[in-house]
Chains A and B, each alone.
Chain A
Amino acid sequence: MAQAGRTRRTKADGKALVALYREMARIREFEEQVQKSYLEGLVHGTTHLCQGQEAVSVGVAAALEPNDRLTYTYRGHGVCIARGMSMAEALGEIFGRVDGVSRGLGGSMHLTDAGRGLIGSFGIVGAGLPCAVGAGLAAQLDGKGRVSVTFFGDGAANIGAVHESMNLAAIWKLPVIFVLENNLYGEFSRINHTTTVEDLADRAAAYAMPGVVVDGNDVLAVKAVAEEAVARARAGMGPTLIEAKTYRHRGHSRTDPAKYRDEKEVKAWLARDPLVLFARQLVKEKHATKADLDGIVEEARAEAARAAETAAASPWPEPRDFTPETFAAP
């Protein structure tokens, strides 16, 4: 993985790398916009932001094909943006408006779009893994080389559904990639208070599947391990657990100032901001200038701001009979 940054790259490669940066910047600016919109009273209930974890969503998404399937969590905005959900559809949903991707029936924790493989966003910790295993079984039965990916956090590592799912995927050799985003905190509790192992990837050994630790703030490293896991899965070699070590810049949810975190720890991780790290690399390797990258961030910020305007202009949904949304055949 470390070598990936040192390999000689062509101009086309450079473009692809800058595209990865753009996706990360779009997620960052999207989440910043959600925060801003929250302060303006446009976001309701709660919301779970993923600033700091962009490299995981983008690195994994870069290893996938359009017809692969994904399940993820309430901290799932980044995955949705990385898979092409428009910011306006996503913000419309987060604002609870009729033009939201689910017409306001789902909300921030439940952004989905099956056409983009975004089949399930789960608000219950660990609950998205069984669904991804089912999608993996469907892929295996279809025999078309699809894979399924499930994103979950370190907080999910100790819940039963996670272990049951890994075991089921392992015994059936399903094409499932388990992406554990270890941001060190399960809600407000630091991982060393809830877990005895240093690397959660070690848990993969219990299911005789590969468990890989990767720097979750290095988008190319994430992409490389994801590509390897996807290749194994497509080749019928079964599931992989990827543990991406990362950090959320914000608290657990919008009401959490994250005072329980050590200042030095926060500072150290902010210095390893995945966008800053990748920008430094792109400039150093002459794929882009700092001005280019600043321009990309500006564009992303403007895109998010426009999307927020569009979303805020969308009407509220009217209360009505929602039987057709509840049942396909009432």
Chain B
Amino acid sequence: MDTVELTYRQALSLAVAEEMRRDPSVLVMGEDIGASGGPLKTTEGLFEEFGPARVRDTPISENAFVGAALGLALCGYRPIVEIMFADFLGVCYDQIVNAIAKHRFMSGGRMDVPLVIRVIGGGGLRFGAQHSQTGETWLLPIPGLKIVAASTPEQAYGMLKSAIRDPDPVVFIEHKALLGTKGQVHVGPDNLLPLKGTNLVAEGDRATVVASLAMVPKALEAAEILAGEGIEIDVFDLRALRPMQTGDIVESVKRTAHLLTVEEISLVGGWGAEVVAQTVAEAFDYLDAPPMRLGLPEHPLPYSPPLEDAAIPDAERIAAAVRDLLA
């Protein structure tokens, strides 16, 4: 197995290219993902290598091409469809939650639905309220979907490969602000990361912080700030939102007695609430303080840079929340 330095964006393209070479039933569809390499260059090189039959530019018709992915999946293909901005999940919500998520179940388990919905989301780039959401809360309550959120190039590569090989529908959430980040990636034909579980990315015994997507590097930054003050914390990257496995988080909280979740979305109905609920159910007697959650305020994300920056949790606010939690 080789280790190479890749950007998050390169890791995504490489994962798809490798799986397309391996399996001729894999194909990609989306808006401007072909000849142009993708509006955010997350499908670069695919069109040149695999051609227009397998790397298909679509009209702006999320309902049609996401729904078409279901038809392809039922007929022996493994489509990857790309939603250019997670916000547009709203446009094809019916196809995802009523058709794709339920199809296998309603058939009595007789039909497999192997498809990947790649979704690029996230704020911090001044895109305003309709182009900055991560979208996971909209899909979290739907049985039948697997939902993963990649925060590093390594995860982008390994989890996307797993998602493509998986026999179930997987929503693969990517973050715009992470596309250019670099990291070491263990590349190899079968270097797969499981579509469930968490990664422990910092260790300490004073508090347990759980983050996902772009909140992970911010939580790590907060961990460094706090370490300078003598406060060591566990940081978990919740890289799989569904199925959600909180066993390692629960064990951590049993040691640290303090829990903070950090998500880039409003708190009501978010995954943070679920992590807290599951942890409290399992580790109530171990907690020294009520769990805390950080997230977006109860208004749409503003455009103006100082306002957007104030809305999205950053390392200082995460560190401050941990101090409050321990106070």
Contacts and interface: CB of A to CB of B under 8 A. Distances in A.
Contact of B70 (A107, A114, A131, A136): A131
Interface in A99-124: 100-107, 110, 112-114, 119-120, 122-124
Interface in A120-170: 120, 122-124, 127, 129-139, 141-142, 148, 160-161, 164-165, 167-168
Given A122-B99, A135-B72, A130 B109 contact: no
B105 interface: yes
B144 to A, nearest CB: 6
A283 interface: no
B68 A168 contact: yes
B228 interface: no
A329 interface: yes
B143 interface: yes
Interface residue tally of chain A, by bracket? Answer: 35 or more
Interface residues of B, number: 44
A162 to B, nearest CB: 9
A129 B74 contact: no
B67 A123 contact: no
Given A131-B70, A134-B67, A134-B68, A141 B77 contact: yes
B196 to A, nearest CB: 9
Given A110-B106, A328-B168, A168 B58 contact: yes
A102 B107 CA distance: 5
B71 A327 contact: no
Contacts of A133: 64, 67-68, 71
B125 to A, nearest CB: 28
A180 to B, nearest CB: 17
A85 to B, nearest CB: 13
A106 B27 CA distance: 29
Contacts of A105: 105-109
Interface of B: 27, 53, 58-59, 61, 63-77, 79, 94-95, 98-99, 103-114, 143-144, 146, 166-168, 243
Interface of A: 69, 71, 100-107, 110, 112-114, 119-120, 122-124, 127, 129-139, 141-142, 148, 160-161, 164-165, 167-168, 171, 322, 324-330
